Amino acid sequence: MAADFRKFYCGFVAVWVITFGNSQEQLPVWKPGYLDIHHINTGRGDAAFMVFPDGTTMLVDAGDMSETHSRTTSSRNAKLIPNNSRSAPEWIVDYIDQFSPFSNKRQLDYALITHYHDDHFGEVDTLRKKALGGYQLTGIMEVGTLIPIKKLIDRGNKYPIDLKDSKVQAEERFVKDKYGMIPTLKEYWKFISYQSKATGLKNESLQVGKNNQIVLKKNPTKYPNFIVRNIASNGLIWTGEKEKTHSVFSKGEYPGENPLSNCIRIDYGKFNYFTGGDISGIDQYGQMDINSIESQIAPIVGPVDVATMNHHGNRDSQNPYYVRAVRPRVWIQQNWTADHPGEEVLRRITSKKLYPGERDIFSSVMLQGAKDVIGGRLGQYKSLQGHIVVRVYKGGNSYSVYILDDQSENRKIVSIHGPYETR
């Protein structure tokens, strides 16, 4: 059957919704010169697979919340997507296998873990299987067992507190942590130890201010205008000048995992993309926190074309100062619960008083509870469900957003948005 092309105009951007009879079109294969950023929806946390212009690959996070929690299996949270025949990490690997450049060896050049929460790097429980190396299979540990990782970057374990110190591990906040961060970290360290010997995995902490820690590995000289800049980690912030940094937290001061998240900005020609894990910018009283990580990095990150919502769009994130400074054309919400987004967050990111111009918002999943609260504001989203792919074309002058079907293993196109011109 002939293709049906339907074109809708949203501001200055044409949105193509393409159907092919009873079947849909596959995402066109990656080509040298493209930057592809796949925001994978498993319903169990964040995962973003990236293919750089020369074919270098990177995975940012591998969320894998335990199926043993009533929270995870309730209507408050998303279901395991597309189904429960595999674990979340197995679905991430299946996705990577589908969209990796065919010429590549089956491996990840980089994996970046933003911080040590279950929806970003995994969570152990009594149901997890054990790998040959003696560690439990969850999150990044399962991904890295199925696909070798050349370099694994995290936030380290020494600062602001030493997470390997038995006295620290015995602190009440960790002993009573029902999501088991310390037990999961112990398995994570076993994984690193085993894989470093078995596959040559290298483990490093993010080096703030550097733009030569994550680099093109296949053909770097061909794309000199591609840079990954390390913005923040452990409360250490790049100043924007050379490789100078300043620290928000003191040694021994532990604000929780979220403010310690690794943050990076990717630049490709005129195109800019920011992702910052679970940093936030609203204080415990619901007011803007000028000393928060969001506020600290906002003028350093500056205007970008695409940004992922910090902390999944939770109500403690996207403060007005941050929104005004970063002002993306495209917002991407990687979420998994009816608590995302906060309705007040949606008010801020759509406010043209904070910054003028059009902006498009895409969500990986929107649960019924969130729909009931947001109500009429749902129309401000371009998509409420699916894998979200940002494809930046050669040279970085334009990009498109593809929404892929997350209910099927085939992951065919649901809609195409753009092309957008970089600013």
Give residue for tokens 């967050």. 345
Q: At what angle do helices 139-146 and 181-198 cross, to 10 degrees?
A: 20
Q: Which value, to the nearest 10 degrees, does the dihedral of the CA atoms of residues 339, 363, 143, 32 take?
A: -160
Paired tokens of 218: 């296949």
Contact 179, 123 (CB under 8 A): yes
Paired tokens of 99: 């969209």
On the 0-12 / 13-18 / 19+ scale of CB atoms within 10 A, 46 is buried
DSSP 378: G
Q: What is the pLDDT of residue 232?
A: 98
Q: What is the pLDDT of residue 423?
A: 87
Contact 35, 85 (CB under 8 A): no
Task: Print pLDDT tens along the chain (423 aa).
Answer: 344 444 444 443 445 554 443 347 999 999 999 999 999 999 999 999 999 999 999 999 999 999 999 999 899 999 999 999 999 999 999 999 999 998 778 999 999 999 999 999 999 999 999 999 999 999 999 999 999 999 999 999 999 999 999 999 999 999 999 999 999 999 999 999 999 999 999 999 999 999 999 999 999 999 999 999 999 999 999 999 999 999 999 999 999 999 999 999 999 999 999 999 999 999 999 999 999 999 999 999 999 999 999 999 999 999 999 999 999 999 999 999 999 999 999 999 999 999 999 999 999 999 999 999 999 899 999 999 999 999 999 999 999 999 999 999 999 999 999 999 998
**Residue 403 β-bridge partners:** 388, 415
What is d(CA 306, CA 48) in angstroms, rounded to the nearest whole number? Answer: 14
What is d(CA 78, CA 228) in angstroms, rounded to the nearest whole number? Answer: 32
Contact 306, 273 (CB under 8 A): yes
Instruction: Report the domain count for the chain.
Output: 1
Task: Taking the CA atoms of 275, 310, 261 and 93 in sequence, report the sign of the dihedral they define.
Answer: negative
Parallel/antiparallel/unpaired status of strands 108-112 and 149-154:
parallel
Contact 330, 380 (CB under 8 A): no
Q: What is the pLDDT of residue 410?
A: 97
Q: Which of 191, 302, 214, 333 is nearest to 262 (CA)?
A: 214
Give residue for tokens 């924007």. 240
What is d(CA 352, CA 236) in angstroms, rounded to the nearest whole number? Answer: 31
Residue 349, C-beta contacts closer than 8 angstroms, at least 6 positions apart: 309, 318, 323, 331, 359, 361
Helix (H, G, I), strand (E, B) or coil at 150: strand
Q: What is the pLDDT of residue 23?
A: 46
Q: What is the pLDDT of residue 24?
A: 73
Contact 204, 219 (CB under 8 A): no
Residue 343, C-beta contacts closer than 8 angstroms, at least 6 positions apart: 315, 373, 374, 377
Q: What is the pLDDT of residue 245?
A: 97
Q: Phi then psi for 33, rounded to 5 degrees?
A: 105, -20
Parallel/antiparallel/unpaired status of strands 245-247 and 202-205:
unpaired
**CA 292: distance to chain centroid?**
20
Query: What pTM did the predictor assign?
Result: 0.94
Residue 200 belongs to domain spanning:
4-421
Starting at the edge strand found earlier in the chain, the sheet holding 306-308 runs 245-247, 236-238, 226-233, 263-268, 271-275, 306-308, 330-333, 360-363, 381-383
Q: What is the CATH number of the domain that holds 144?
A: 3.60.15.10
Q: What is the pLDDT of residue 67?
A: 95
Q: What is the pLDDT of residue 15?
A: 52
B/e letters for 376-390, b = 16+ CB within 10 Å, e = fewer, are: eeeeebbbbbbbbbb
Letter for the amino acid at 152? L
Q: What is the pLDDT of residue 4?
A: 44
> Residue 212 CB: number of other CB atoms within 10 A?
11
Residue 85, C-beta contacts closer than 8 angstroms, at least 6 positions apart: none
